[in-house]
Amino acid sequence: MDRKEREALMNDVESFCQEIRPIEELCYVEHRFNDQVIPLAKKHNILGIPVPKTHGGRGADCVTYCQALARIGREGTGVRTFFSGHTSIGQAPIMYFGSEELKKRYLPASVKGEKILAFGLTEPDAGSNPLEMTSTYERQKGKFILNGVKYLISNGGIADAIVVFAYQKQSASGKNPRVSAFVLDTRVEGFNKEDLTAKCGMPSSNTAMFEMSNCAVPEENLLGEEGDGFRIAMGALVTGRLSVAAGCLGVIEDCLHEVVSYSTQRHQHGKEIARHQLVQDHIAMIEMHRVSSEVMVKRAAEAKDEADAMPNQSELKKQADIWAAKAKFFVTNAAWDAADRAVQVFGGRGWSTLYRPGRHLNDVRVCRIYEGADEILKLKIASSVLGKEYEAFK
Ligand SMILES: Cc1cc2nc3c(=O)[nH]c(=O)nc-3n(C[C@H](O)[C@H](O)[C@H](O)COP(=O)(O)OP(=O)(O)OC[C@H]3O[C@@H](n4cnc5c(N)ncnc54)[C@H](O)[C@@H]3O)c2cc1C
């Protein structure tokens, strides 16, 4: 992507953000799904930012895509989570592991907004350890038959197709069970979904669970080879974690903008609250979160671009994986602290969803849970320092 294309993309992202802001604010306070995210993203052609141009996308590198997600993240974690589900963990596995036929069938349509995507790995009894999943598949007359339940899936109630994971049935209790990945069309018979709305935040985004009851998937919808599922899931988590980190950088930027604006207008004890040094402490800390998070996201995105440029170099892939984990852990915690401090600077108004800091605080908490909870990432980072023999789990 050259400079001109990057500028054009960021202008489109900016226009989308300006148009979505008043709608998102209204949906948030009314606790309803924001049904304008998709049409507006389609209007501004940002439904396939990193998808190659040959498949209809904008062809952005990871650094540019992260800049776009940081901008979108300022509009709220719910809005950004839609893009993570659709692009970072929905389109990405198809881009990296799909056959040419599968790419042709799903990528251009998803870029045009005709097919909305999601990623279904988590199950009621398999979260941090996806290998404890119980979904199964078996081959029958040229098709794969899928059974199981997927839980807490972003875009799961609005998706037209979902990247899903399941064990080969015959081997589910055997010695070497194989996990495979499929693209499942949600209009297929036996697919039943339910929106999950009792959430602590992101009320305007879609989170759902779904059941696959003898869902038939055509053979050509297998991603990679049979048995590649776990590798595909872990690959998607790299792009997914980067998207969460980038979105949280946007949250920090927005918190900083809000506290600067509010604290220089609000007066108490005869002066702007920005002149009270304990308020300046919050502002300094949010600014430090912003600059350090910017560096982390950029470095992690560069590592991913380096790995993508040389796909046969396994060391670069490993580096991209660990950088994504570090950036996700660091920036989500920084965003949580930044939102908490922004709420504090806003005082009583901060503790209201009518103001942006309160909404960010509600929303950003989940970023320390999904796509690898804090604890899981810490274990991964520690073993990257200590060595393979200290891995908490394989
Ligand atoms: C709003 C939302 C959207 C989501 N979107 C998606 C999606 O699009 N697709 C998808 O597949 N999933 C999605 N998820 C699921 C998410 O990825 C999981 O919730 C997450 O991986 C944690 O799994 P769990 O909830 O089962 O918690 P558990 O795995 O049960 O963990 C509970 C706690 O135990 C800790 N823990 C677990 N194992 C260990 C260990 N070995 N050592 C130390 N601590 C440990 C965890 O860190 C955590 O603190 C979403 C979740 C939410 C809330």
What span, in angstroms and rounded, lies between the C-alpha atoms of 138 and 144? 5
Number of neighbouring beta carbons within 10 Å of residue 268: 11
Helix (H, G, I), strand (E, B) or coil at 184: strand
| 324 CB-near residues (< 8 Å, 6+ apart) | 237, 238, 239, 241, 242, 245, 300, 303, 304
DSSP state string for 50-95: TS-GGGTS----HHHHHHHHHHHHTT-HHHHHHHIIIIIIIIHHHH
What span, in angstroms and rounded, lies between the C-alpha atoms of 206 and 204? 7
Bridge partners of residue 139, in order along the sequence: 144
pLDDT of residue 177: 79
Q: Is the CB of 370 under 6 A from ligand 1?
A: yes
The structure's pTM equals 0.97
Distances (CA, A) of 183 to 50, 106, 162, 352, 381: 19, 9, 6, 40, 31
Q: Is the CB of 83 under 6 A from ligand 1?
A: no
* Residues labelled catalytic: 371
What span, in angstroms and rounded, lies between the C-alpha atoms of 367 and 101? 34
Q: Which residue has its alpha carbon closest to ligand 1 atom 29? A: 128
Q: Are 378 and 371 in contact (CB under 8 A)?
A: no
Q: How far is the CA of 36 from the centre of ligand 1 (A)?
A: 28
- Give the pLDDT of the chain (394 residues) as one tens digit per residue: 899 999 999 999 999 999 999 999 999 999 999 999 999 999 999 999 999 999 999 999 999 999 999 999 999 999 999 999 999 999 999 999 999 999 999 999 999 999 999 999 999 999 999 999 999 999 999 999 999 999 999 999 999 999 999 999 975 555 667 999 999 999 999 999 999 999 999 999 999 999 999 999 999 999 999 999 999 999 999 999 999 999 999 999 999 999 999 999 999 999 999 999 999 999 999 999 999 999 999 999 999 999 999 999 999 999 999 999 999 999 999 999 999 999 999 999 999 999 999 999 999 999 999 999 999 999 999 999 999 999 987 6
Q: Residue 37 burial (CB < 10 Å; 0-12/13-18/19+)?
A: buried
Q: Are 368 and 333 in contact (CB under 8 A)?
A: yes
Q: Is the CB of 217 under 6 A from ligand 1?
A: no
DSSP state string for 266-311: -EETTEEGGGSHHHHHHHHHHHHHHHHHHHHHHHHHHHHHHHHHST
Number of neighbouring beta carbons within 10 Å of residue 373: 14
Q: How far is the CA of 14 from the centre of ligand 1 (A)?
A: 32
Distances (CA, A) of 102 to 2, 94, 143, 308: 28, 7, 15, 20
What tens digit of pLDDT does each residue of 216-237 get?
Answer: 999 999 999 999 999 999 999 9
Q: Is the CB of 375 under 6 A from ligand 1?
A: yes
pLDDT of residue 175: 60
What span, in angstroms and rounded, lies between the C-alpha atoms of 81 and 67? 15
Tell me the Cα Rg of the chain. 21
pLDDT of residue 392: 87
Q: Is the CB of 205 under 6 A from ligand 1?
A: no
Q: Is the CB of 376 under 6 A from ligand 1?
A: yes
| 123 CB-near residues (< 8 Å, 6+ apart) | 132, 133, 134, 135, 148, 149, 150, 151
| 62 CB-near residues (< 8 Å, 6+ apart) | 50, 239, 242, 301, 302, 304, 305, 308
Q: Are 145 and 138 in contact (CB under 8 A)?
A: yes
Bridge partners of residue 147, in order along the sequence: 136
Q: How far is the CA of 196 from the centre of ligand 1 (A)?
A: 15
Query: What is the number of the ligand 1 atom nearest to the C-alpha of 199?
Result: 1
Query: What is the number of the ligand 1 atom nearest to the C-alpha of 392?
Result: 41
Q: Is the CB of 366 under 6 A from ligand 1?
A: yes
User: How far does CA 126 lie from the centroid of its chain?
Assistant: 19
What span, in angstroms and rounded, lies between the C-alpha atoms of 58 and 7? 12
Q: How far is the CA of 222 from the centre of ligand 1 (A)?
A: 25
Q: Is the CB of 135 under 6 A from ligand 1?
A: no
Q: How far is the CA of 62 from the centre of ligand 1 (A)?
A: 25
Site to probe by mutation for ligand 1, drawn from 164, 333, 370, 376 as the one with most ligand atoms within 8 Å of Cβ, is 370
User: How far does CA 341 lie from the centroid of its chain?
Assistant: 24
Q: How far is the CA of 128 from the centre of ligand 1 (A)?
A: 5
Number of neighbouring beta carbons within 10 Å of residue 219: 11
Backbone CA torsion sign across 220, 224, 226, 232: negative
